[in-house]
Every structure is written in C-alpha cells, then in structure tokens.
Amino acid sequence: MNTIAVASPRSSRQRLVIGSGVVAALLIAAQVIGSASFPSNWYAHLADPINDWQGWLRTNRTTHWSFTVFINPLTDLVDFLLTFVEDFFTWLPWFIPPIVVFLVIARRKRWVMATCAALAVIYPGVVGVWEQSIETIALMTVSVAISVILGIPLGVWTALNKRAESILRPILDAMQTVPATVYLIPIVLLFGIGKVPAAIATVIYALPPMVRLTALGIQQVPRSAVEASQMFGATRRQTLARVEMPLAVPSIVTGINQTVMMALGIVVIATLVGAGGLGQEINQTVRALSPGKGLVVSLAVVAVAFVLDRVSLALVTTPGAKVASLTRRQLLLIVIALLIATIIGRLFGWVEFPFSWGKFFANPIDDFVLWFRDTFSFITRPFNDFIVRDVLIRTRSLFNTTLAWQLIVIAAAAFSYVAAGWKMAIATTIGLVVIGLSGMWYDASETLAQTVVAVVLSIVIAVPVGVWLGRRPKVETAISPILDSLQTIPPLIYAIPFVMIFTVGPVPGVVAAVVYAIPPGIRLTALGIRQVNPESIEAATTFGASQRQVLWGVRIPLAMPSIILAVNQMVMMVLAMAIIAGMVGGGGLGYRSIEALTGANGAGLGIEVGLAVVIMATILDRLTQSAARRMQAPAAQ
C-alpha cells in the first residue's frame, strides 16, 4: 500500500526559518569578509580578442576573400538599392508621392484613410524636412523590403520545421534583446560608415516580428483546411501556396506592420553611423536644445511610419477585403496621367517642396518649454537635486562602496530562488559575476539605479491611471491615440525638453524613460482591470461591498497578473532608454555604449556593454514574468 507523506505546516515553517537563517548568515559573512565593488584585478579582458579582430578587419578589408567575395558585393548591392530609391523619390515632383499614396489606399474604398495618408506625405515638406524624409523613406523602404523578403520564407520554414524553430528562436530573441548600438559596432567594422550599415542594422532589428508572425499565421491555419486540401490530391507545396499562405495573410500583414514600427525605432540610433535623414535632424535638435523642432521632426517620423504602414497594408490583399477592381484600360489611363503630371512637374521645376513652415510650429513650443523652465524652477531644481544627490548617488555608493559585491550576488540569488526557483538563482549568480568580470560592475550599478528610479516613478503614474481607465472604457478609447503617439515618437525626443528643464545629467534620461514607459503600463493595467470576471464583481456587490471595496478586494487582486506584466514591460522600456539616457549625460551603460560606438577601438567595449545590458534585461524580465505566473489565477477545470 502506497503512502503519501504530507508536510505539516509546522515542518514547512521550520524549513523556512532554517533557510532564512542560512541566507542571513551568508549575507553577514559576505559583508564582513567580502570587498566593496567588484575587484578590478578580476577583469577578464573580454574586449581584447574583439579588439584584435577589429584590427585584423581593418588590415584585410580590401584583400581577404570574405570581403571581396561576399561583404563588398553585398555592400554594393544595398548601397545601389538605397541610392536608386532615394534618387527616384528626389527626381519625382513633390506632388506625385501623395497622389500615388492616395490611389493605392483608395483602391480599398477607404477614402478618409487615403486622404490622411496623402496629407501625411506632405507634412515633412510643410515643416521643412522634405529632403531628410526622402532619405529616411529610402532607408525604411529598402530595409522593410529586405526584412519581408527574408522574413516570410524563414517564418514558413520555422512553422513547418520544429528543429528550425528551436534553432532560430534564441537567435530571434537575441536580435531583439541586444541593444542596437552593440550590433552596430561589428556591422560598422564589416560594412564601414554610412547608410549601408544603418540599413543592415535596421533589418536585424526589424526582422524578428516578421519571422515570428509569419510562423504564427502558418501554425494557426485550421488543420481541417490542410487535410481537405490533401484529400483532393494537393502536394505539400500546393497546400502551402494555395491554402496555408492565403489563410496566414492577416498574420503576415500584422508582421509587416510590426516590422515597419520596429524599423522606425532604430532611425535615431542609425544616425550614429552616418545614416542621415530625419534621425540626423533629431540628433541636431538635441545639440541645439530645440524641443519645438525636435517635436516637429519627430512627427515627420510618425508620418513616415503611418504612410509606410498603410501602403504596405493596402498592397497586401487579405481574404474578404474589399478592393476596387480596375480594368486594364483604367489602370493604363492612371499610369499615363501620372506620367504626364511627372513630365509637367519636371518641365516647370516643381520638384522641391515649395514652402516651409517649420519655425512657425517649432518656435511656440520652444517658448513654452522656456516659460515652463523659468516658471517652475522652484520645483524642477529641487527635484533634480533630490534625484541626483539623495537617490542616484546614494544608490551608486551603496552598490560600490557600502555593500560587499559578494553580499549583492547572494542577496540577488536568494531573491531569484524565492521568485523563480533554483535555476533562476544560478542564472542570476552567473550573470552578475559575468558583469563583474567584464568590468561593467560600476556602470551597471549606475544604470540599475536609474532604472529602479524610472520604474518606480512609472508604476506610481501608470498603475493608478490604468486602474482608473480600466473602469471607464469610453475614456480609454478617447485617449488611446495619445498613447499610440507616445509610443511612436522616437524616444530621444522626450529627452530634449527635459534637458532644457533639468540641465544635462541623469535626470532628463530618467524622466524621459518614465514618459516612454508609462503607455504600455497604462494599457496592460487597464486591460487587466477591464477583463476581471463580471460574476466576481456581481457576487461582491450582492454581499454589500462598496465600489472601493470591490476595487481593492476584487478588481485589483484579480488583475494583478496583468499589472505585474505591465511592470515587466515598463522595466524593458526603461532599459531600452538606457542608450538615450547616455546621449543626454545619463552615464552608466548607456554612455559607455555611445563611447564604444564613437571611439576608435570600441568594438570590445561595445561587446562588454551589450553583454551587461542583456544580462540585466534577462534577469529582470524573467523575475517579473515569474511573479506574474505565480499570481495568475488557477485555470478552471
């Protein structure tokens, strides 16, 4: 007869007490015996082989077969495509692109959307960045096209081959997790400075969603549809081409949309390697401290994103979509009319955009920021001093001089064990030691301090707002466009007004990270509150609970998994802003990444910085996800 041993509550408490005592003893011993900060003589010199490789590349760039056979031809091909697209758009009269965009979208009978997209094409010219927008459109067009050409076959292969999926999944994760500045360094070493490395970096950053969503679309095709095709004698290739791919089109379209958004996210960073375009204009607004021009140019980036997104969606025919069918004669007449309009525009010199009202929009914004800085300096200056002196400096001192690094590692491992188990505890221990061996302990502690401050401020703002909106769907719908805009505008733009208000330093980066992180926090919190089971709310109300008691006793506890996921997303968004913080004087890993990218021998440093950022992001991501899973309500049987 089998017996089942059940641990008594008393024995569980005893094990908890014993475990807590052991951890406390280890912490005390680590603090007494250990050393402050990570020993510099333990530096593993991970950068040396990378720097040696960098020197070898410079020496053999023109002679080694890998360059002459593969890299240089690929560089020439991408450069040709970028130059061709840019020259073509520059050659066209300014009024032709908005007309073409209107016609492409109007074929789906979406007249309002077509008009808005046409106006979005004109907007960069109105604000004086027409030529720069053409450079960005060329870079985006080529990068997104390459991502789609590579992403769809890889997605199909991943969906049909489990081994391929297991191989590609960690690669795709790394492509999205590693900071853009980290893989810009080897790309620059291989392809030089200019638009080509910017395009290749954009493809690397934007390819994963295209692959993932294509694979998802293929995997979600109903099995009955595939079996019916096979019953009628279709081969595997015919089933894929005539059944699975058409049914997967909605998911593929979503992948194109996400690819466009991801590609735009790297526009500003790409200017660090000579990409030019709107990103360069945004960088110049930082140097000039002109938030008005920065916002105007950023809206031009948003306009480019909107146009590319809508045109890409209009060019893909989804099942059941209403598309205006044109006869060959009608199509020929439209093409002839466009050719005649182009010839007339070229003959009369109507090529460049005829006017610019950029300063008209920018100056009032600059004046408002200056007024705000001078009027509320009695609040902003004490806040800046408090964050720097009493929070960031004290936290940095705590991690580097007060606490022994051994104590920090043991405490982090113990917390990881409680939150996510022994595997996570081991991974956390190894990760922190690797950060120390890479020489990034001091910079990582500074970035961690800024991240903690930004995340706490984001939670204080986003969670209450999300709870409030979750109970008011109409208000949430009304402010949804504002949240969309906050996530679409390049992150660097948020830092410009805060640099003017708080001066150069870590605070502008922290505040900008908060503004960048709160939209997903608000959305996920509101989603959790809104999706609480109505029956639970009705039961609480039936037993006489007030609205406040329902909120704190029912809604928030049941929405806690979504709230924790909101915290997870805010942590990731704040870490993504580390590079931007480094560009405005924030220090830490963000500054070191900029130093690596702009320095003469920065490849090794860039790898070390990227490794530290990836380890921090992975640990924080896994811990918050584990917390969300623990708080998830058990599935109904």
The string of pLDDT tens digits covering residues 317-334 is 555 555 556 677 878 888
Band of pLDDT at residue 4, cut at 50, 70 and 90: very low
Residue scoring higher pLDDT (137 or 291): 137
CB–CB of 357/127 below 8 Å?
yes
Spatial separation of the C-alpha atoms in residues 249 and 152, rounded to whole Å: 11
Band of pLDDT at residue 461, cut at 50, 70 and 90: very high
Spatial separation of the C-alpha atoms in residues 313 and 114, rounded to whole Å: 12
Lowest mean pLDDT, pick from 152-156, 270-274, 411-415, 617-621: 270-274
What confidence score (pLDDT) does residue 587 get? 79
Tokens of 634: 């058990």
Helix axis angle, 405-420 relative to 9-33, nearest 10°?
Answer: 160
Band of pLDDT at residue 98, cut at 50, 70 and 90: very high
CB–CB of 327/120 below 8 Å?
no
Within 10 Å of residue 626's Cβ, how many Cβ atoms?
18
pLDDT in tens, 112-122: 888 988 999 99
Is pLDDT of 16 > 80?
Answer: no
Is pLDDT of 230 > 70?
Answer: yes
Tokens of 297: 């140019």
What confidence score (pLDDT) does residue 39 get? 83
What confidence score (pLDDT) does residue 42 get? 85
SS3 per-residue string spanning 313-366: HHHCCCCCCCCCCCCHHHHHHHHHHHHHHHHHHHHCCCCCCCCCCHHHHHHHHH
Spatial separation of the C-alpha atoms in residues 568 and 105, rounded to whole Å: 37
What confidence score (pLDDT) does residue 394 get? 86
What confidence score (pLDDT) does residue 635 get? 43
What confidence score (pLDDT) does residue 636 get? 40
Residue scoring higher pLDDT (375 or 321): 375
What confidence score (pLDDT) does residue 419 get? 82
What confidence score (pLDDT) does residue 628 get? 66
Lowest mean pLDDT, pick from 148-162, 353-367, 479-493: 479-493
Within 10 Å of residue 87's Cβ, how many Cβ atoms?
12
Residue scoring higher pLDDT (465 or 329): 465
Residue scoring higher pLDDT (148 or 540): 148
What confidence score (pLDDT) does residue 445 get? 87
Lowest mean pLDDT, pick from 56-60, 563-567, 626-630: 626-630
Closest of 618, 611, 574, 620 to residue 435, by C-alpha: 611
The proportion of the chain whose per-residue pLDDT surpasses 90, expressed as a percent, equals 6
Band of pLDDT at residue 10, cut at 50, 70 and 90: low
Helix residue ranges, H only, 438-505: 441-470, 473-488, 491-502
Question: Which range, 145-159, 315-329, 357-371, 535-549, is most confident?
Answer: 145-159
| Cα separations in angstroms, 388 against 2, 286, 391, 505, 615 | 63, 21, 6, 9, 25
What confidence score (pLDDT) does residue 426 get? 92
Is pLDDT of 79 > 60?
Answer: yes
Spatial separation of the C-alpha atoms in residues 159 and 441, rounded to whole Å: 40
Spatial separation of the C-alpha atoms in residues 576 and 515, rounded to whole Å: 13
pLDDT in tens, 376-417: 888 888 888 888 888 888 888 888 888 888 898 999 898 888
Within 10 Å of residue 522's Cβ, how many Cβ atoms?
28
Is pLDDT of 430 > 90?
Answer: yes
> What pairs with residue 404 in β-bridges?
36
Q: What is the mean pLDDT of the chain?
A: 81
What confidence score (pLDDT) does residue 2 get? 47
Overall average pLDDT of the 253-264 stretch: 78
The dihedral of CA 75, 78, 81, 87: what is its sign? Answer: negative
Residue scoring higher pLDDT (309 or 633): 309
Lowest mean pLDDT, pick from 75-84, 137-146, 275-284: 275-284
Is pLDDT of 637 > 50?
Answer: no
| Residue 236 backbone class (left: φ over 0; alpha: ψ -120 to 50; beta: rest) | alpha
Overall average pLDDT of the 443-468 stretch: 89
Overall average pLDDT of the 58-73 stretch: 81
Residue scoring higher pLDDT (161 or 488): 161
Closest of 606, 519, 562 to residue 51, by C-alpha: 606
First to last CA, the chain: 29
pLDDT in tens, 590-616: 888 777 777 666 678 878 888 888 888
What confidence score (pLDDT) does residue 330 get? 78
